[in-house]
Structure formats: structure tokens, C-alpha cells
Amino acid sequence: MHVWGILLPESTLREEFIAVLAAFVAINTILYVTLAVAKVLPKLYVRDWVHTRNRRSETRSIHPDAPV
């Protein structure tokens, strides 16, 4: 007979400590999945969406036909 793991009685699994530990593991997993997805997505910059007064209306490039 081979033992493949530890089997705990059902009374042990219903203890408050195990429930708190399971909740911690669940929250931790969700946090790491969120961080991994955020790292894969491209960066978003607020300044690209918010137009401020300090933007030039004309280009000062050495290429006068360059886009603004």
C-alpha cells in the first residue's frame, strides 16, 4: 500500500484556523494573478488623455513638416 499524501479528518478541515488560511491563500492568489495580468498589459499614461496648456501648437523640429 502506497501513501500518496496526508489525509486529514473532516473535523480538522472545518476548524477556524484552516478557514482563515484558505481565505488568505485565495486572496493572495487573486492578488498575484492581478499583478501578473497588469504586468502583461501595456502601460497607460494619464498625460496622453489629459491635454494641458504646456503643449506647443507649432512644431519646433528641424523638420518643419513633422506632425505636431
Residue 3 located in a structural domain: no
Closest by alpha carbon to 26, among 38, 34, 15? 34
Residue 2 located in a structural domain: no
Residue 1 located in a structural domain: no
Note down the domain range covering 56.
10-68
Residue 5 located in a structural domain: no
What is the percentage of the chain residues whose pLDDT exceeds 90? 40
The answer to pTM > 0.75 is no
Question: What pLDDT, in 10s, does the model give residues 18-50?
Answer: 999 999 999 999 999 999 999 999 888 887 777
Q: Which residues contact 31 (CB under 8 A, 6 or more apart)?
A: none
Cell numbers 479528518 correspond to 9
pLDDT confidence of 5, banded at 50, 70, 90?
Answer: low
Residue 64 located in a structural domain: yes
Phi, psi of 57 (to 5 degrees): -85, -20
Task: Please state, in angstroms and as integers, the Cα–Cα distance from residue 3 to each residue in 7, 9, 12, 20, following that order.
Answer: 9, 16, 19, 28
Number of structural domains, the chain? 1
